[in-house]
Structure 1
Amino acid sequence: MDRPGWHPHLWHPFTQVATAAPPLRVVRGEGALLELDDGRRLIDAISSWWVTLHGHGEPSIAAAIASQARRLEQVGFSDFRHPAAEQLAERLAACSGLERLFFSDNGSTAVEVALKIAWQWWRNRGEPRQQLIAFEGAYHGDTFGAMAVGERSLFSEAFEPLLFAVARAPWPATWWDDDGVEAREAAALARLEQLLETPTAAVILEPLLQGAGGMALVSESFLRRVEALVRASGALLIADEVMTGFGRSGHLFACQRAGIRPDLMALSKGLTGGFLPMGVTLAREAIYAGFIGTAPGLTLFHGHSFTANPLGCAAALASLDLLQELPERHQQFEARHRPHLEALARHRLVRRPRLLGSVAAFEVATDQPGYLNPVGPRLQRLALERGVFLRPLGQVVYLLPPLCLDDDQLTHCYAVIDAALSSL
């Protein structure tokens, strides 16, 4: 079925062709900007689904990929290893405190691997645990295991009969000037403690910030109390840092900002600076040791054709170089956001402003909360007309720009949001 403005052979994600506007055609990206085929330039205020960490076309990452491509572009990782994978594993282990690294190819599969490791680790010990716990509102990806531990919604409804059961605890999201957060946190912790009375394989969470679930922020102290309960129960703790990793929280990892140490961590998105798809699951050494033995069933039978792709590893190493050479870019972004968000928070339509590192978010006052709220597409169109690309989550509007965004561009983003709100 051909429609004007749509390519006859492409199938776009999260898109209903019958009702959506045709996708824009991008021909070039540079820094925080996207150039369209009609010559317009847009500020990419959401880092192209949160992956473009340092900016489009970052020269040092492009050069690292080109250099690696001339030496080795791909090799099967079951039978071989290579220097780029070794170096990346060493550096991620050093900066995360988790000693073992398993490569995959995107965020969903990094989560799948973490779930499989946690589940099988208990089985390998001869004491299988049958419960997994996740949090209400979570999003962990669109493969089956990731869907199962995410919030059940329209996104997963068609597959509900195929998803395994998951116990759920409340996520006591908070925002500026929130007087009720302590009571919500106490109720959430009480429920989690109750759930943990059942032997549990693992608890999975997005540390500090649920991304696709509406940029829902919790306090650092809440996460520390969650960790204490999980430790007391003997369950494993899985941190899904697919979105929050690599400086997005103002720290290299959100777990570090919160002061918690998970047993397993899923990474992707900013891992390669947005240049190439790659996922990573980090694990404690003691977990890795639980898969070693002469019995074949102890093996983690999981893999991907492009596991530890050398080009992706080279991109990730170059991205880590930038984070370590220019730490002020992620460490100071929250301070850059703050005065703009404080001013915007006075707008009559702005509710529940919150801020974490390079992520600023708020909700538009509405009687119809939810992902399908039409206010999101309306704001997106209004912002596009003014040169800024946003992708609101229903009534939740957020900025999550590349770290290279300059002060004038950041000011323009907030001015466009203010004008768009006033046009509603």
Structure 2
Amino acid sequence: MTIDLQFDSKHIWHPYTSMVDPLPCYGVVSADKCLIKLDTGELLIDGMSSWWACLFGYNVAELNEAAKNQLDKMSHIMFGGLTHQPAIELAKKLVEITPDGLDKVFLADSGSVSVEVALKMALQYWHSRGTPRSQFLTIRNGYHGDTFGAMSVTDPIGSMHELYHNFLPTHLFAPQPAIAFNESWQAEDLNAITELVLQHKDNIAAIIVEPIVQGAGGMYFYHPEYLKGLRKLCDQHDLLLITDEIATGFGRTGKMFACEHAAISPDILCIGKAITGGYMSLAATLTSDKVATTISQGKAGVFMHGPTFMGNPLACAVACAAIDKLIACNWSEKVSTIEKFLQENLAPCQTLAKVKAVRVLGAIGVVEMQENVNIAEIQKQFVELGVWIRPFGKLIYIMPPYVISEQQLKTLCSAIYTVAK
């Protein structure tokens, strides 16, 4: 099959790409397991899980079957005034596997929307209590999505959203946690964010963070005690805690949800990406009975949000199959095996002059360079080496499917070492 890359380049806008001088795109004709087939015939080992979503790779029999079976019934039905078994089954599974106390489920259509929903839940919660609040508190170098509310709680300094800074609501940003995941904990790391809480607690609707792993903002892994401290801080000052697990959920960090590293439950939880095994867009925002009841007893009497494709039955059916497969596949052992392999095989990169740091947690491997990489050039090198790795900024990282083989992992790590030299 020939893919019209010329038309694509002239007319189709890809993520974070110029239409005047676009980054090159590679045409894909099919994908199976952990291999991506290009229109030119090359097979590339996927190191990205298609932006962290395809936990089991591609062309997964159980997910294919779930989609086909649901298509014969209905691909979509409005969720206003109607419901269906795939949504009910999915909500049951999510309540069961997420941290304790999150038993109210709002099904959205993308990760960014799940964050918007979480922010609106927090705002409406305080409005319903008769004490409206307008600010959110978060930490620097975070990332929560590309829609306006999500951008407003993403670090505006030097980030991909800096351009929009003056058009967004102004929120509160504490310094990035200084103590890394495997370092000795120092309680003083919480001092700065504690001070912000004390100064602004009467107008803070919620604290929102990516738990343990800051993803697109820099692939930084911070200490679980920091997250545990945030939970205590919120409890002490009657604040809501929102955790954005869109990238970290479903086992990626070695726990089903990254909150579990700190043994805490948030008041509101955002999930997406891997929820359908990467088959289609779906997300969810879960919250506690306390938050849901307070919102429902407020002036509006309802929660004011309702996407057109909310609770899409096709996506819900596939998500149910994906969660079943994840639980049945011994994911914890698979992620642990990947983690050990990445630790051993990315370690040599630390000796390279161009490399600043190497970090591994769960099925996440990060090589941070001293300087920003040339994406077009480095992408070409990776394709020539038979791998699909998509770097950004100073970061070369992989988040491979859980079903990847040791040989495929070895090839990915070897390619990173070769390119990083």
Question: What TM-score comes out, normalization by structure 1 length?
Answer: 0.91
Instruction: Name structure 1 gaps, 5 residues minimum.
Output: 367-372
* AA matched with 1:389: W
Of residues 119, 125, 128, the one that matches 1:124 is 128
Counterpart of 2:359 in 1: which secondary structure? strand
Note the C-alpha offset of 1:336.
Answer: 2.7
Q: Show the 5 A alignment for 1:261-340.
A: 261-293=265-297, 297-326=300-329, 327=331, 328-340=333-345
Is the 8 Å Cα contact of residues 190 and 229 (structure 2) preserved in structure 1? no
Is the 8 Å Cα contact of residues 212 and 222 (structure 2) preserved in structure 1? yes
* AA matched with 1:231: D
Note the C-alpha offset of 1:197.
Answer: 4.0
Distance change >3 Å, CA 252–CA 135, structure 1 → 2: same
1:412 corresponds to? 411
C-alpha distance in structure 1 between counterparts of 2:226 and 2:181, whole Å: 16
Is the 8 Å Cα contact of residues 136 and 168 (structure 1) preserved in structure 2? yes
C-alpha distance in structure 2 between counterparts of 1:192 and 1:254, whole Å: 24
1:370 corresponds to? none
Which deviates the most, 351-360 or 207-216? Answer: 351-360
Of residues 74, 83, 88, the one that matches 1:86 is 88
Q: Show the 5 A alignment for 1:245-264.
A: 245-264=249-268
Q: Show the 5 A alignment for 1:25-40.
A: 25-40=27-42
Counterpart of 2:141 in 1: which secondary structure? coil
2:65 corresponds to? 63
Note the C-alpha offset of 1:256.
Answer: 1.3
Note the C-alpha offset of 1:387.
Answer: 1.0
Note the C-alpha offset of 1:177.
Answer: 7.8
Note the C-alpha offset of 1:8.
Answer: 4.2
1:204 corresponds to? 208
C-alpha distance in structure 1 between counterparts of 2:350 and 2:334, whole Å: 24
Counterpart of 1:202 in 2: which secondary structure? strand
C-alpha distance in structure 2 between counterparts of 1:185 and 1:222, whole Å: 7
2:174 corresponds to? 169
Once the two structures are superposed, residues 267-325 of structure 1 have per-residue CA deviations (whole angstroms, 9 ceiling, x without a partner) of 110010000101100001111111334x7613112111111111111111111111111
Counterpart of 2:206 in 1: which secondary structure? strand
Is the 8 Å Cα contact of residues 159 and 217 (structure 2) preserved in structure 1? no
Note the C-alpha offset of 1:83.
Answer: 0.6
1:225 aligned onto 2:229: yes
Is the 8 Å Cα contact of residues 246 and 273 (structure 2) preserved in structure 1? yes
Is the 8 Å Cα contact of residues 172 and 184 (structure 1) preserved in structure 2? no
1:360 corresponds to? 365
C-alpha distance in structure 2 between counterparts of 1:414 and 1:335, whole Å: 13
Is the 8 Å Cα contact of residues 271 and 285 (structure 2) preserved in structure 1? yes
1:344 aligned onto 2:349: yes
C-alpha distance in structure 2 between counterparts of 1:159 and 1:177, whole Å: 35
Is the 8 Å Cα contact of residues 250 and 331 (structure 1) preserved in structure 2? yes
C-alpha distance in structure 2 between counterparts of 1:123 and 1:48, whole Å: 39
C-alpha distance in structure 1 between counterparts of 2:182 and 2:239, whole Å: 34
C-alpha distance in structure 1 between counterparts of 2:56 and 2:361, whole Å: 18
2:160 corresponds to? 155
C-alpha distance in structure 1 between counterparts of 2:154 and 2:128, whole Å: 26
1:136 aligned onto 2:135: no
Equivalenced residues, count: 413
Query: Over the residues paired in the alignment, what is the CA RMSD in angstroms?
Result: 2.2
Distance change >3 Å, CA 102–CA 9, structure 1 → 2: same
* AA matched with 2:381: L
2:111 corresponds to? 107
* AA matched with 1:278: L
* AA matched with 1:217: F
C-alpha distance in structure 2 between counterparts of 1:306 and 1:253, whole Å: 25
Instruction: Name structure 2 gaps, 5 residues minimum.
Output: none
Once the two structures are superposed, residues 110-166 of structure 1 have per-residue CA deviations (whole angstroms, 9 ceiling, x without a partner) of 000000001101101112223211111111011110010111146334433431110
Distance change >3 Å, CA 154–CA 192, structure 1 → 2: closer
Is the 8 Å Cα contact of residues 227 and 260 (structure 1) preserved in structure 2? yes
Once the two structures are superposed, residues 198-225 of structure 1 have per-residue CA deviations (whole angstroms, 9 ceiling, x without a partner) of 4421000000011100101101111111
Distance change >3 Å, CA 321–CA 3, structure 1 → 2: closer
Of residues 23, 26, 33, the one that matches 1:24 is 26
1:385 corresponds to? 384
C-alpha distance in structure 2 between counterparts of 1:42 and 1:95, whole Å: 33
Counterpart of 1:270 in 2: which secondary structure? helix
2:51 corresponds to? 49
* AA matched with 1:238: I
Is the 8 Å Cα contact of residues 167 and 195 (structure 1) preserved in structure 2? no
Distance change >3 Å, CA 162–CA 21, structure 1 → 2: closer
Note the C-alpha offset of 1:48.
Answer: 1.2
Question: What TM-score comes out, normalization by structure 2 length?
Answer: 0.92
